[in-house]
Chain A
Amino acid sequence: MTTDKLLTVCGLSLEVAGSGHQVVKSVSFDLAPGEIFGIVGESGSGKTLATRSLISLLPPNITVTGGSVTYKGRDVLKLKEKELRHLRGAEIGVVFQEPMTSLNPSMTIGRQLEEGLVLHTKAPAQERRLRILDMLKRVGIRDPEGALASYPHEFSGGMRQRIMLASVMLLKPALLIADEPTTALDAVIQRDVMELMVELTRAEGTAVLLISHDLPMVARYTSRIVVMEKGAIVEQGRTEDLLTAPQHPYTRKLLSSLPFRGEPRRIDTSKAPMISAREIIVDYAGRKSLFRKNKPKRALHGVSIDIYEGEVVALVGGSGSGKTTLGRTIAGLVKEDEGRIQFQGRLRTENWADYRLNCQMVFQDPYSSLDPRMTIQALVEEALRLVPGLDGNAKRKRSLETLEEVGLGMEYAGRYPHELSGGQRQRVAIARAIARRPRFLIADEPVSALDVTVRAQVLDLFSDLQKRYGFSCLFISHDLGVVEQVADRVVVMQDGRIIEEGARDSIFDSPKEAYTRRLLSAIPALDQNENGGVTLKWRLEN
């Protein structure tokens, strides 16, 4: 066995205790000191369980059935709990996906960061404090002194993930396991956190095991990658080889599922726009306390947007940019404080019932947008409840037809949402929105919660339906890759204002605003080659 490896995983197999169901099948890979190594797979591929077993943090119902995990010459799976505790944190650090729940909300940042130092080092209090302050400064916290006494809820998601990173890197571990470290963050912040992680680990000589579903992101930072599917490694190799000349069909499928730029289309803008919103202002009321009323927070500062017949307009921006608020205002879920919204040239308030019939919405989270107590067919049929001129039979027929159109046959009609996968649920949500044949659709991050390959299928479905029915669409997303594939026109928002808009190609090829450039630098341009592989080009990089 080579001794220069930091970590060697050999034939690791895991199964759900007692059921004989294998969740990880004979997985082998190794890591050199200081290397950045990627594991890519979709949900259910076993990538998280496989890495949890590296520090023996498996859920109680999962047992190891074979293989070994050797860290610096010691078999981790045979270590006692006490020895493991010395390993965790001090030698192997972990950054989890959810920055909202991985910090203890009732402890100050200072105490949480100190915990590891107290456990694993003999540093005196004064030195601990200095090391913590130094680390907080390095991860880009503006006021480290102040941060020590603050609680996690006072920081944004990106800042929390930085603090999490700081707490792990304080102990200078030899290996950092980063499980989807940036998935919950929006594109720009995602990139900042990743860059920071790479910089810190390089400086300390820490090896990184980066686990994600996001192949381009992993490819950007790693030298080698393994691709996992259904618990087994299907392909592994140098990052570049794997991307340009994928061998396994699943890797090819993953690569071809990445969003590519669609064909440009001609949109007729001579007629009046389908939707025209003018100078929309929305204020969120300040929190009322007993003695004073806080100032309202302005979410939209006089935003105007036009959407023409058959056009797909993408609304992009980071979290807090007001893009969701604008979508919800146009949908009528939030009331505008000022401004007016016209539908087909007339104020929408003149015929609200008609507007309701013609303006539908697809929500982001397919798990909470469907009533858990209704069957799939009932959910779609409910959308037709208020449509005039359809009797019960016609409604039933239309709902089944629509389900068929989104790829869910008769056998799904009687099922309940929990019996469907995320992608299938989002298909139901789309069916519900188009069943009325609306002229205008608002899609709020419709594919953000979906796996890569499922996302590609749902996007294809969406494009097909859009072509067939020709509805206009406001497509809200923070993922510019998806936007590049579906949008005709792109509108960029920041801090409640529109800062740039234009045809898709001009925004993607020659962005003017600095913020747009930052957004774009977070996603790669893809060149497909004849092997089914791709070359990633990072935009606007020096």
Chain B
Amino acid sequence: MKKLTLNGLIGGILIAVLLVTAAVGLFWTPFDPMKLSFTARLAAPGAAHLLGTDEFGRDVLSRLMVGARASVWIGALTVGFAVICGTLIGLISGYARGWVDGVIMAVNNALLAFPGILLALGLLAVFGANQYGIIFALGIAYTPSMARVVRGAVLSLREREFIEASRVMGNGELYTMLRHILPNCLAPITVLATSMFGWAILSESALSFLGLGVPPPAPTWGNMLAAGRPFLQQAAWLGLFPGLCIALTLLGINLLGDALRDKLDPRMRGLK
């Protein structure tokens, strides 16, 4: 049996490169990402500046490396927040059913009906625009869809006979929930979480674009993309490279997520 598929391998390499870049960016960058230089404004990619410079003469590569940290951090924490809260809410709602389910789902549906970005905007206005404000706001915006997916999986699982078998054995509700239901929900959770990671990075870009993201001059891929917009005609690299980073990261996360889901599923064992 092959350990990972080709897709999984590609995804793994992309994510590994991203993590290493982000880690290196913490200690070392080719140039100081904040240092302005009027002599090297909008320099095209070349020997001196590998990926060119922006309108203030800051090195794009250095800024991307530092920005990677912020973007990955925001993406990971947002997804973590949504997965934990959403799974918990979904499990309780699907397992308890009855009025508990009714109330939770009513609130959940109200949140779902509200545009996520608008909700995040509102929350950011309250908590202030900084990294953790974004994570919190996006996390709350994504929790309802996770809760919904988990609840659906739980509802269909709890009708299966192995859940009844567990009850006949005398196992408690909590044990049954954690031992039998949760592990069988992993596949939809993994799939949704990997797509969410992508949405989170994009939403952070969107929020930065609207001026509510991580405040400048600290770089994130999102605000670099936004800042590059007015110069797209003279200096395409300003938009191109951050965009490419976001796209490749999403690709990597999705490929790796699919591979992980298959790997975690014993039913895929032994299948070619």
Q: Name, among B166, B169, B171, B267, the residue most crowded by chain A CB atoms within 10 Å (CB to CB).
A: B169
Docked CA distance A382–B183 (Å): 15
Q: Which residues of A contact B265 (CB under 8 A)?
A: 373
Which of B161, B183, B270 contacts A363, CB < 8 Å?
Answer: B161
Q: Render A155-167 as a binary contact track against B, CB cut-off 8 A, 1 for contact.
A: 0000000000000
> Is the C-beta of A418 less than 8 angstroms from some C-beta in chain B?
yes
- CB-nearest residue of chain B to A332: B168
Give the chain B neighbours of A373 by CB distance below 8 A: 183-184, 265-266
Task: Mark each residue of chain A from 381 to 413: 1 if its CB lies under 8 Å from any CB of chain B, else 0.
Answer: 011011000000000000000000000000000
Cα A452 to Cα B177 with chains together (Å): 36
Could you tell me which residues of chain B, from 224 to 252, have a CB within 8 Å of some CB in chain A?
Answer: none
Q: CA of A331 to CA of B161 in the docked complex: distance in angstroms?
A: 13
The yes or no answer to A353 lying at the interface (CB within 8 A) is: yes
Per-residue interface assignment for chain B, residues 70 to 99, with 1 indicating a CB less than 8 Å from any chain A CB and 0 otherwise: 000000000000000000000000000000
State whether B161 touches A365 (Cβ < 8 A).
yes
Give the CA-CA distance A129 to B221 in the complex, in Å.
Answer: 68
Contact A369:B161 (CB < 8 A) given known A333-B168, A357-B170, A382-B169: yes
Q: Are A372 and B164 in contact (CB under 8 A)?
A: no
B169 touching A383, Cβ below 8 Å: yes
CB contact between A372 and one of B165, B168, B266 (< 8 Å): that residue = B266
Q: CA of A419 to CA of B180 in the docked complex: distance in angstroms? A: 19
A382 to B266 alpha-carbon distance, docked (Å): 18
Determine whether A74 belongs to the interface, using a CB cutoff of 8 Å to chain B. no
Residues of A within 8 A of B179 (CB): 382
B 177-222 contacts with A by CB, 8 A? 179-180, 183-184
Secondary structure of the A side of the interface? loop
Q: Which residue of B lies closest to A356 (CB)?
A: B170
Q: Chain A: interface residue count, which band?
A: 20 to 34
Contacting pair A368 B161 (CB below 8 A): yes
State whether A356 touches B169 (Cβ < 8 A). Answer: yes
Residue A371 lies at the interface, judged by CB distance under 8 Å to chain B: yes
B170 A432 Cβ-Cβ under 8 A: no
Q: How far is the CA of A367 from the CA of B179 in the complex (A)?
A: 18
Decide if A386 touches B170 in the complex (CB within 8 Å): yes
A252 to B267, CA, bound (A): 36
Q: Knowing A371-B184, A418-B267, A419-B270 touch, does A353 contact B170 (C-beta < 8 A)?
A: yes
Q: What's the interface size class on B, roughly?
A: 20 to 34
Say yes or no for B162: interface residue by CB 8 A criterion.
Answer: yes
Known: A386-B170, A386-B171, A418-B266. A369 touches B184 (CB 8 A): no
- Cα-based distance from A266 to B170 in the complex (angstroms): 33
| Residues of chain A contacted by B161 (CB below 8 angstroms) | 363-365, 368-369
Q: How many A-B pairs fall under 8 Å by CB? A: 63
A227 to B268, CA, bound (A): 34
Chain B residue with the shortest CB-CB distance to A328: B164
Set of chain B residues within 8 Å of A369, measured between Cβ atoms = 160-162, 164-165
Task: For the complex formed, measure the closest distance between the CB of A69 and the CB atoms of chain B, giving whole angstroms.
Answer: 32
Does A416 count as interface, using CB distance less than 8 angstroms? yes
- B267 near A416 with CB under 8 A, answer yes
Most chain A CB within 10 A, of B165, B167, B265, is at: B165
Q: Which chain A residues border B266 with CB–CB below 8 Å?
A: 372-373, 416, 418
Contact A386 B169 (CB under 8 A): yes
Judge whether A385 and B183 touch: CB under 8 Å.
no
A353–B179 Cα distance when bound, in Å, is 20
Alpha-carbon gap, A370 to B267, bound state (A): 13
CB distance from B44 to the nearest CB of A (A): 52
| Contact across chains for A368 and B170 when beta carbons are under 8 A apart | no
Q: Does A360 contact B (CB under 8 A)?
A: yes
Asked if residues B267 and A372 are in contact (CB atoms below 8 Å), the reply is yes
A411, B169: Cα distance in complex, Å: 25
Residues A385 and B160 in contact, CB atoms below 8 Å apart: no
Q: Is A361 in contact with chain B by the CB < 8 A criterion?
A: yes
Cβ contact within 8 Å between A370 and B162: yes
Asked if B269 is at the interface (CB within 8 A of a chain A CB), the reply is yes
**Across the interface, which residues of A come within 8 angstroms of B165, CB to CB?**
361, 363, 369-370, 429, 432
- Contact partners of B169 in chain A: CB under 8 A: 356, 360, 382-383, 385-386
B166 contact set on A, CB distance < 8 A:
371, 382
Among A356, A363, A382, A419, the residue within 8 A (CB) of B164 is A363
Which of B167, B179, B266: most chain A Cβ within 10 A? B266
- The reply to whether B184 and A361 form a contact with Cβ atoms under 8 Å apart is no
A368:B167 contact, CB within 8 angstroms = no
From A371, A416, A418, residue with most partner B Cβ within 10 Å: A371
Q: How far, in Å, is A339 (CB) from chain B's closest CB?
A: 20
Whole-angstrom CA separation of A261 from B64 in the bound complex = 80
Q: 1/0 contact trace for A325-338 toward B, CB 8 Å?
A: 00000011100000
Shortest CB–CB separation between residue B270 and chain A, in angstroms? 7
Contacts of B160 in A (CB 8 A): 368-369
Provide the bound-state CA to CA distance between A432 and B166, in Å: 11
Which B residues have a C-beta under 8 Å from some C-beta of A?
160-162, 164-171, 179-180, 183-184, 265-267, 269-270
Can you list 9 A-B pairs with a CB-CB distance of less than 8 A? A333-B167, A333-B168, A363-B164, A368-B161, A372-B184, A372-B267, A382-B171, A386-B170, A429-B165
Query: Can you name 4 extra interface pairs (CB under 8 A) apart from A370-B162, A382-B179, A385-B171?
Result: A368-B161, A368-B162, A369-B160, A419-B270
Enumerate the 5 nearest inter-chain pairs by beta-carbon distance, A residue then B residue, closest first.
Answer: A356-B170, A369-B161, A416-B266, A363-B161, A371-B162
